[in-house]
Amino acid sequence: MLESAVRAAAAFWDAADAEGAGRTATLERLERLQIVRRVVPGETLLVETTKESGDGAGRTMSFAARGTVGGDMAMRARFSLRRYIDNDPR
């Protein structure tokens, strides 16, 4: 579930920032992860992400994510992604 949320947030970030599109965004920090219920085979997890804040330089962005199955809460998360720009790992 966390991987789905991270991928959704990275795609959201790419769509919102044409200049940084296609650059690698990786999980930098997991602030909170709450698993409310299991997702079993055959169920569909719907993940919604919301941008919370950024570092101003376009390298780090914080997100909140919520995952539901059939309208029921399955997970909540708060995390930061880091984008590596021009092969500069700073």
Give the pLDDT score at 16.
72
Rounded Cα distance, 51 and 80, in Å: 10
The Cα angle at residue 20 between residues 27 and 12, in degrees rounded to 5: 60
pTM assigned to the model: 0.80
CA distance 67 to 49: 9
Kindly give the parts of the chain with pLDDT less than 70.
17-23, 55-58, 85-90
Mind listing the domains of the chain with CATH numbers?
2-83 (3.10.129.10)
Give tens-digit pLDDT for 12-28: 888 776 665 556 788 99
